[in-house]
Structure 1
Amino acid sequence: MRSSHFPFSAIVGCDTEPLDDLGLSLVLTSVSPEIGGVLVRGEKGTAKSTAVRALASLLPPIDVHRGDRFSVDPADPGQHSPDGPFGPETPVESRPVRLVELPVGATEDRVLGSLHLEQALTRGQVAYEPGLLARAHRGLLYVDEVNLLHDHLVDLLLDAAATGRVTVERDGFSVEHTARFLLIGTMNPEEGELRPQLLDRFGLTVEIAAPTEPRARAEVVRRRMAYDTDPAGFAERYRETERALSARIAEARDALDRVRLSEAALLKIAEVCAAFEVDGLRADIVTARTAVAHAAWEGRTEVTRADIRRAATLSLPHRRRRNPFDAPGLDEELLDRVLGEEELPPDPPEPSGPDGGDDPVDTPPEGDGAPDAEGPEPTEGPADGPIGEETGPEPETIPEPAPHEPVGEDRPDSESRPSAAPLPTAKAAAPYRPRTFTVRGTGEGADGRRSRAIGTRGRRVGASRPGPGRGSSLHLVETVRAAASRPGEGERIRLRPEDLRVAIREGRESNLVLFCVDASGSMAARKRMTEVKTAILSLLLDAYRRRDKVGLITFRGSTAELTLPPTRSVDVAAVRLDEMPAGGRTPLAEGLLEAARVVRRERLRDARLRPLLVVVTDGRATGGRGAVGRALDAADHVAGLGVTTVVVDSESGPLRLGLAATLAARLDADHLPVGEVDADALSDAVRERAA
């Protein structure tokens, strides 16, 4: 067995028994592809991609019709290939399972398939060129950095995963083909989270991190260097181990139908899923399939408590999250309480005898109406009350969180305070639906859901020659029109490369939403800070849904700080916001100048990513003589950058100075009281005034 990839059994964690979470999840979904694939979450440099690429060489080969580009199963009469029909005389050949990689920047035509341009232009024939989903049928579809996948590609994957088919209606042809594949995605959570709809389509999820034990780290480096020095020789040393692992996967596949999922095991799976309050029933189905696959992998013929526990740790962590700011993970103590300590009881025997009887179970031996002796006592386990509810004096034993350390306590403005009490860290309330803010004008950024942009998605507004940022789908009518308009060709139209035209589409783009938040003493009133944090948290959730990049700047004391560099991980932004203290002076000028520096730096990194600056302040600038003037000069500087800005006015109370409105005028920004960030509250206020 030759492979150009790093051997699967040579990966630290996949070379021991039992396998670690990463190795086991990949193996189980290979044993039972109906599980639905694997999402691997972890920091960079943790062998995510290495493990996925090594898996393909372990899978048994598949049979296909010779010349069939869609890889339908010859043994399945229900599968039909657009290249068919294939009769009994068509040769059948065996080939390895394909590992198809879907780039995050792929176009829709490349994923679904498109018109075969060469045949259309040279022969005048309409022919279909299969896409990546057709190539991945009965194989592995691997998406590295799946959380960065554009929304339109996510929609295509959702449709294919839900139906198992791909339908293409475009450019004068109609094609439908089967597309069942094992979806494997890897991602770094620091770059942003995954859309909940796609997250739920992954059967299993694994959270991995680099080993902290020095010997394990040294072994990883040793093996990697040995492979890079001599890939063929390194793979040869693991050939027998790879063969044994591949044979075990094939044996487990064959044993799947012989594994018995008892009624007690199925009920226990339902109890576990209910205890963790998962949405829908897909979690129950995936957990059951995973438990059966785990039993087959371990050589058992019946699902046990250990199989259910192992399956739940892989299938439930990503399904119990309630919103994008919750931390992933599974409460294993709750899982053990629900599972109990006793092994699952066997199913009652089938009724026997000549008449069989009407009652499928035996009558209890003691007394009429006696409770089931096999069931748990009413007072034991979590089944007595709401599943997962804590009882007893447990809340009193939970330690209080440590107070947040003051930021910059060695600065002059904080040294002058006689009290050593920690700065207040008010918490945000539940987020609401905020108003939608957009960047002015029309951009050319990556596909998103916020501001107007010219790109590859949306309504067709024109055509142009191919080029960067000018779309990718062929505009056939405009191509023919360009060829026909060339003088001196006579009546016959000849297509040339310079005649090609692509569609220009107007859709929506993602933006950089940069928050510049006043965390000074004038904002330190707990009620006001709670209101401000709730508004920012709501805007962060909106940015998550619109696939934006976010950054957070806070200013207090004498300086401003880039608390969170621009990232797509709004989870991290929410944590930083929650920990943000308040107190000290108001260096408004420093906050605006720091925002200007961040904007300039991000424009150098990506000129197409347009920023939306959200300044949250009451407009007061303190910090010595001339603080107000410096703040207004800084506002003029930011306005000169042409940045779309929104000033969220946090001023409250009966006496208001209106300084935030003055600041908004100098920034050429929209001015909005913090209470009007809530779209529903604003709508109610408008309706009340109209009445």
Structure 2
Amino acid sequence: MTSTSASTGFPFTAIVGSEDMALALALCAVSPAVGGVLVRGEKGTAKSTAVRALAALLPAVSVLAGCRFSCDPSAPDPRCPDADSHQASGHTRPARLVELPVGATEDRVIGSLDLQQALATGSTVYEPGLLAAAHRGLLYVDEVNLLHDHLVDLLLDAAAMGRSTVEREGVSVAHAARFVLVGTMNPEEGELRPQLLDRFGLTVEISAPRDPQVRAEVVRRRLAYDADPVAFTDRFADMEQALSARIIAAQAALAHVQLSDAAITKIAEVCAGFEVDGMRADIVTARAAVAHAAWHGRLRVLREDIRAAARLALPHRRRRNPFDAPGLDENLLDQILGDTEPDPEPDPEPPAPTPPDATDSGDDSADQQSANAPQSGPADKAPGEPEANDSKASEAESVEPEAAEPQSTPAPANGKAPANTTASAADPVRTKLFKAPGLGAGEAGRRSRAITTLGRTVGSTPTAGHRGPVHLLATIRAAAPHQVARGRVGTALMLRPNDFRLAVREGRESNLVLFCVDASGSMAARRRMEQVKTAVLSLLMDAYQRRDKVGLITFRGDGATLTLPPTSSVEVAARRLQELPAGGRTPLAEGLLMAAETLRLERIRDPKRRALLVVVTDGRATFGPRALPRSLQAGGLLADSHVAGVVVDCETGRFRMGLAAGLSEAMRAQYIALGEVGAAGLTDVVRAASAA
């Protein structure tokens, strides 16, 4: 992590498109009480660029000299831990941009006991963390979905309360922590938990533009910036100054914006209409509507302010299951809002001066250079004001019919399915907790017992070049017997590097469940595939709640496909599973070999994560020479690799060949017949095999 002053980088007003993201960032800059913004989008969509560029637009702050917590000289915090050392003088510095890395520890985030002072002098001294450094600035968390839940909770608590409270290791400290919180994430890398997602005030979904002309303009601007950053930044300097002035003007007008009872009632109707849980949505929408009115130079919240706020505050809060894509029905939103303004009263007097707008700013040369841009971004208009021909319409028109969700194909009366069919899964069922055997050492999660960075302390270990939480008592015990030999004088404890001990903590880890599913013609009966898909969806739901990774391999025709690489994103997993077709020959050996290779690569990427392979097949290998012997050899390869597995026999009918049972013997895996278990029973099989 680095805590630095905002430096000159790619200009905020030079970013093409992403109007919703620009508006959400601007509203949070105007009113940090909104609660921050979460930017969700695929890789390469300027998420990080926009956040870092925003820091340069924040107004400078005045701080007291000698205060580590950035107290305002005009209103110092009387409860500041450094209140006794405050000096009368102050100075002005740029607003800080504090970046929190995924690997940050709790000590680094909230601060902790200054270990060096404690061991050397015996005094209890608090060392501030990142939350203190971010006070009155911007706190940026890239890949926030990969940050551990309890750290995200700490950040969001501080953002909501405006203070950080530390009670640990003999330290009891509370300090101000008001900052603009911005998190970015790629949904394909996993989702935030619903209770954490709800804590972000606003959320924005962004994607790369599909218009070639817009993409070309993005490339032109990036290449121009890389070739001459100074000249490119100067080109947008006037627009940057105008946008910064607009933020300052909106901040000054915020306290004077009128939120009428009628507007509050309308906000409540919108939140109730979308069936959001709790009251946080109402409060955040109200704050965002006030900020939006101030951003546009109004002293009264209008219908358009409520609509803009709801579009940003409700999509991630509406009642849905994890398999539904996030979004908001804007037609329903307009229907609830109606056509009349919530407050018919005139604007209060005197009217607020209209803040400068980036649209009317900038020198003639900059406007001339940008005149041919195919789509205006924040450089050409205020954030959040869409074009007349909204880009969403063009994106909708570009969607091909094949991208629509496939429909189920009923099985013929003779029980045989066509060459290619697609069965839809039923609603997922709740699964009980299943655990991997023994004590692992994988990524912290919520499933199997493991030695992790979180949990209860069960022992200590020498540092040996490793990093982690220091076990204070164990460190003192290791150093105590050597104090006389080291010539200790006085009360100061003499430490050597080999005295330090790290805490060993036992918690829970996440696992990998890899499904290898036969999607050939012999499996294409709709009811059979429906059972398999429902079971996988049920385990995906469980993995979503417990931070597991899930992968999916399918084999049909002449080969196997890694349909879903190991991931924690249940939305992507559910979509791939629903679209899975069935039909063709059975390349069983190819499916098993791909499973072996996938698990091998996963062990290289994440050697501590334990895996379970679930093979769903009838065992009828029908592709390639010596199909059945090759399948048994592939099963033996998995057994030699010590892969824990389950073979689910999907063979049906009066006369059975028992090939899946032979495969389970070759794999040294548990065998179960699908006819004996339904979709819910399949999850029980996986659970039992993991706990064995």
- TM-score normalized by structure 1? 0.81
Q: Deviations over 1:257-286 (max 9, x none)?
A: 222223332222222222222222222222
**Corresponding residue number in structure 2 for 1:411:** none
Asked whether 1:451 is paired with 2:448, we answer yes
**Corresponding residue number in structure 2 for 1:557:** 557
Q: CA deviation at 1:491?
A: 7.4
Give structure 1 stretches of 5+ with no counterpart: 15-19, 350-398, 407-418, 687-691
Q: CA deviation at 1:340?
A: 2.6
**Corresponding residue number in structure 1 for 2:166:** 168
**Corresponding residue number in structure 2 for 1:476:** 472
Asked whether 1:542 is paired with 2:570, we answer no
Contact 2:513 2:614 survives alignment (8 Å): yes
Contact 2:11 2:53 survives alignment (8 Å): yes
**Corresponding residue number in structure 1 for 2:643:** 643
Contact 1:435 1:677 survives alignment (8 Å): no
Change (3 A) 1:99 1:348: closer
Q: CA deviation at 1:671?
A: 4.4
Asked whether 1:58 is paired with 2:57, we answer yes
Change (3 A) 1:179 1:344: closer
Q: CA deviation at 1:577?
A: 0.6
Following the alignment from structure 1 to structure 2, what is the Cα–Cα distance between the partners of residues 81 and 671? 64
Q: CA deviation at 1:405?
A: 11
Change (3 A) 1:549 1:13: same
1:76-475 map, 5 Å: 76=75, 80-85=79-84, 90-344=88-342, 346=344, 421=418, 423-467=420-464, 472-475=468-471
Following the alignment from structure 1 to structure 2, what is the Cα–Cα distance between the partners of residues 326 and 459? 36
Q: CA deviation at 1:526?
A: 2.1
Further displaced range: 5-14 or 72-81 = 72-81
Q: CA deviation at 1:121?
A: 4.0
What secondary structure is seen at the aligned counterpart in 2 of 1:442? coil
The AA in structure 1 aligned to 2:562 is L
Following the alignment from structure 2 to structure 1, what is the Cα–Cα distance between the partners of residues 528 and 680? 15
Q: Deviations over 1:375-416 (max 9, x none)?
A: xxxxxxxxxxxxxxxxxxxxxxxx99978599xxxxxxxxxx
Q: CA deviation at 1:133?
A: 1.6
**Corresponding residue number in structure 1 for 2:520:** 520
**Corresponding residue number in structure 1 for 2:35:** 36
**Corresponding residue number in structure 1 for 2:396:** none
Q: Deviations over 1:181-231 (max 9, x none)?
A: 221011112212221122111111111222333333333223222322333
**Corresponding residue number in structure 2 for 1:5:** 9
Following the alignment from structure 1 to structure 2, what is the Cα–Cα distance between the partners of residues 614 and 154? 33
Further displaced range: 483-492 or 133-142 = 483-492
Name the larger-Rg structure. 1
**Corresponding residue number in structure 2 for 1:69:** 68
**Corresponding residue number in structure 1 for 2:587:** 587
The AA in structure 2 aligned to 1:83 is D
Further displaced range: 77-86 or 441-450 = 77-86
Contact 2:420 2:584 survives alignment (8 Å): no
Q: CA deviation at 1:319?
A: 1.4
Contact 1:676 1:682 survives alignment (8 Å): no
Contact 1:63 1:92 survives alignment (8 Å): yes
- TM-score normalized by structure 2? 0.81
Following the alignment from structure 2 to structure 1, what is the Cα–Cα distance between the partners of residues 346 and 502? 67
Contact 2:417 2:524 survives alignment (8 Å): no
Following the alignment from structure 2 to structure 1, what is the Cα–Cα distance between the partners of residues 157 and 262? 34
Following the alignment from structure 1 to structure 2, what is the Cα–Cα distance between the partners of residues 444 and 2? 39
Identity %: 64
What secondary structure is seen at the aligned counterpart in 2 of 1:58? coil
Following the alignment from structure 1 to structure 2, what is the Cα–Cα distance between the partners of residues 656 and 506? 47
Following the alignment from structure 1 to structure 2, what is the Cα–Cα distance between the partners of residues 434 and 660? 25
**Corresponding residue number in structure 1 for 2:533:** 533
**Corresponding residue number in structure 1 for 2:46:** 47
**Corresponding residue number in structure 2 for 1:355:** none
What secondary structure is seen at the aligned counterpart in 1 of 2:139? strand
Contact 1:438 1:612 survives alignment (8 Å): no
Change (3 A) 1:121 1:256: same
Contact 2:268 2:282 survives alignment (8 Å): yes
Following the alignment from structure 1 to structure 2, what is the Cα–Cα distance between the partners of residues 400 and 265? 43
Q: CA deviation at 1:657?
A: 6.7
Change (3 A) 1:229 1:130: same
C-alpha RMSD over aligned residues? 3.4
Following the alignment from structure 2 to structure 1, what is the Cα–Cα distance between the partners of residues 404 and 228? 52
The AA in structure 2 aligned to 1:530 is E
Change (3 A) 1:662 1:612: same
What secondary structure is seen at the aligned counterpart in 2 of 1:330? coil
Following the alignment from structure 2 to structure 1, what is the Cα–Cα distance between the partners of residues 443 and 577? 26
Change (3 A) 1:665 1:164: farther
What secondary structure is seen at the aligned counterpart in 2 of 1:438? coil
The AA in structure 1 aligned to 2:524 is A
Contact 2:407 2:422 survives alignment (8 Å): no
Q: Deviations over 1:504-544 (max 9, x none)?
A: 12222223321111223333232222222111001011112
Number of corresponding residues: 619
Using CA pairs below 8 Å that are at least 6 residues apart, which structure has the higher relative contact order? 2
Contact 1:471 1:504 survives alignment (8 Å): no
Contact 1:74 1:92 survives alignment (8 Å): yes
Following the alignment from structure 1 to structure 2, what is the Cα–Cα distance between the partners of residues 545 and 75? 47
Change (3 A) 1:348 1:62: closer
Following the alignment from structure 2 to structure 1, what is the Cα–Cα distance between the partners of residues 319 and 132? 33
Q: CA deviation at 1:629?
A: 3.5
Contact 1:305 1:339 survives alignment (8 Å): yes
Contact 1:321 1:327 survives alignment (8 Å): no
Contact 2:417 2:521 survives alignment (8 Å): no
What secondary structure is seen at the aligned counterpart in 1 of 2:198? helix
Following the alignment from structure 1 to structure 2, what is the Cα–Cα distance between the partners of residues 335 and 178? 37
Q: CA deviation at 1:488?
A: 7.0
Further displaced range: 340-349 or 606-615 = 340-349
What secondary structure is seen at the aligned counterpart in 1 of 2:581? coil
What secondary structure is seen at the aligned counterpart in 2 of 1:443? coil
What secondary structure is seen at the aligned counterpart in 1 of 2:286? helix
Following the alignment from structure 1 to structure 2, what is the Cα–Cα distance between the partners of residues 467 and 169? 29
Following the alignment from structure 1 to structure 2, what is the Cα–Cα distance between the partners of residues 673 and 285? 53
Contact 1:532 1:650 survives alignment (8 Å): no
Q: CA deviation at 1:467?
A: 4.4
Following the alignment from structure 1 to structure 2, what is the Cα–Cα distance between the partners of residues 183 and 473? 26
**Corresponding residue number in structure 1 for 2:390:** none
The AA in structure 2 aligned to 1:450 is R
Change (3 A) 1:181 1:348: closer
The AA in structure 2 aligned to 1:29 is C
**Corresponding residue number in structure 1 for 2:370:** none
Further displaced range: 66-75 or 648-657 = 648-657
Change (3 A) 1:156 1:261: closer
Contact 2:31 2:251 survives alignment (8 Å): yes
Q: Deviations over 1:93-121 (max 9, x none)?
A: 33322211110111121112123233234
Change (3 A) 1:78 1:677: farther
The AA in structure 2 aligned to 1:577 is L
